[in-house]
Structure 1
């Protein structure tokens, strides 16, 4: 741990003591957490503790505030910088910062003490390749309202790829639906947990600096739902009145899985020309109804011209593709043999 890192942290903490902002201090501590390598955590915390000045005590209190929830054993995992710091156990920030807030001005004790006031969820773009999970918070004294927004990549399976903390009015620029806070917070935790399991996942350079505070905020939301479901399919009420439509929609829902907001031209093609011939066993009525079911779903999903146009290009090929037995996958062939 370089002397420069310590001196910079103390200098910045001195400014934070003048600003008296819990939110600004927590965001700073999250960035500080992200900048420490695993082997630097213990020496850095010991240097702060040995110094004992108000700036060092503020740093310890802030680091504990943004890391305490994750260090308490959440499924989302321990912050990477803390995970390998065995000389302080598995809760290095919490242990080092214990009691520090009580030695500082009263505003310091508000760090981490927030109430969730609302939640929203929806597509980040027209086709839903990424979704946005948003949670709004306010400190216990009613001040510094703020919005946490986490970008969740659907194409890669639902992992967190970006995050930010903004003023609540930032929500005005997002096309998101109100949602249950426990479900949205659960999605945030699910997304970070998945990202922790995937080596080399492509994420925004800014994500590590927001990870600690994103976890801290999500973990204080009451009634967390894990894994968090998506009710998009259950809200669909536009099933065509056609023989085989229900059968067709069940296959579409199976294909959509837990990422139903992702519906792009490429996914239309994958479903109609690849997944159905390879995986699905359908009656003639189901095959005949499928194009109209997919059109109805596409309208429900935003009625984007590119998506609807792709349906028109791919749907006429479906009967011939479903009849081509060479396209069937192993699971489909086994299932067909069992039926004969």
Structure 2
């Protein structure tokens, strides 16, 4: 059975179920199969099932190669009839399609001139809706009702971005949750669409919908840029719908700063604390929720000696700054233990010039020139 044949068979059931959400999820799975001929076959078909698939695909975020390489098969212009104008007429056509297996037995066709270089999915989708029951027009017509963001695990190696949606008629509420890997650059590694009650099991905080939508788009962009990125096997089947949902949020904020820093108001009132926190913020970068024992060790024993020029006061204040930051991010005992184990070595490591990286060496040499200003606190280079 070809992808097209299977799609027709599945669409027949979807026409009976009348669920926009189920149909969009099904269409997203079709996209993930990557059949380069499917779109052209669907666009050239006169079956209501094919029209349902085209209408659903038009609501999603499709890869460019899928829409530009597909070309529709020619249609019979003499067989074209007037577009049905009522739900009753549309239902009669879809009922007839379920009774007859062969496309040639169907009398309902839709005028469709294939574009020379591929299928114009937006146009084809609008045309298809004219022949489908009215519920199909609700596909893609969703309203975002809330957004949440936070850690997906104890140490924040993965964060979760959640967006809640409901169709314009108020039906089929659903929750999109995207897992964003922090340890490998902030790429989208998994996504699910669940019932809203799924949120009850997640420890996430409310956040602006435009910011969360932007983070979802940012994460998928990173995934697309990384060749061979390791993602969950389930991600491709949800990706087209996840992108479409994120783009449906008005004015997504791309590359928004993480408010975890601005929410931190417990900086110790000790000399050098501001300078020490500046170095920590530079190390954490755009992924401040990721704070684990291993990351503490990397910061204290590798990054600071290699990249940062700090005053003696900042070095002395660093352990207390890290303890305050740890309390801000859950106050986990194992992280406090790692700070206690690694922090005593920091003064000696910072004094070891053999551990300094090139950027730090250049910056330090400039401060030794006559008339040069003393170094400002903070790190040099990037993580």
Give the shorter-chain TM-score range.
Answer: over 0.9
C-alpha change, 1:185 and 1:125, in structure 2 (3 Å) is: same
Corresponding residue for residue 336 of structure 1: 364
Work out which of the residue numbers 218, 221, 239 in structure 1 matches 2:246: 218
Shift of 1:331: 0.3
Q: Do the aligned partners of 1:120 and 1:133 also contact (CA within 8 Å) in 2?
A: yes
Compute the TM-score of the two structures, normalised by the length of structure 1: 0.92
Structure 1: gaps of 5 or more residues:
68-77
Q: Is the Cα contact below 8 Å between 1:240 and 1:293 reproduced in 2? A: yes
Greater C-alpha radius of gyration: 2
Aligned equivalent of 1:82, options 62, 66, 76: 66
Q: Determine the structure 1 residue equivalent to 2:31.
A: 33
**Correspondence list, 1:222-233, <5 A:** 222-233=250-261
Give me the whole-angstrom Cα distance separating, in 2, the residues matched to 1:123 and 1:186: 17
Q: 1:46 to 1:85 in 2, by over 3 A?
A: closer
1:54 pairs, out of 12, 36, 48, with: 48
When residues 90 and 277 of structure 1 are mapped into structure 2, their CA distance, relative to the original with a 3 A threshold, is: farther
Q: Deviations over 1:71-129 (max 9, x none)?
A: xxxxxxx5265266276658753344232112111100000000000000000001000
In structure 2, C-alpha distance between the alignment counterparts of 1:102 and 1:137, rounded to whole Å: 25
Alpha-carbon distance between aligned partners in 2 of 1:154 and 1:302, rounded to the nearest angstrom: 17
- How far apart, in 2, do the equivalents of 1:195 and 1:57 lie? 32
Q: Deviations over 1:231-284 (max 9, x none)?
A: 101110110110000110011001010000000000000000100000000010
Q: CA RMSD in A?
A: 1.5
Matches of 1:57 and 1:105 in 2, distance apart? 11
Question: Conserved in 2, the CA contact under 8 Å of 1:45 and 1:96?
Answer: no
Distance 1:304 1:233 in 2: 18
Among 134, 138, 152, which residue is 1:106 paired with? 134
More helix by share: 1
The 2-side partners of 1:286 and 1:92 are apart by: 60
Q: Does structure 1 residue 206 correspond to structure 2 residue 200? A: no
Q: Name the CA shift for 1:148/1:91 in 2 (closer, same or farther; >3 Å).
A: farther
Report the counterpart of residue 304 of structure 1 in structure 2.
332
- Counterpart residue number, 1:9: 7
Q: 1:272 to 1:92 in 2, by over 3 A?
A: farther
Q: Which residue of 1 aligns with 2:85?
A: none
Residues of 2 paired with 1:91 and 1:207: CA distance? 25
The residue that corresponds to 1:72 in the other structure is none
Q: Does the 8 Å contact 2:39/2:67 carry over to 1? A: no
Counterpart pick for 1:168 among 186, 196, 220: 196
SS of the aligned residue for 2:179 comes to strand
Q: Is the 8 A contact 2:216 2:246 kept in 1?
A: yes
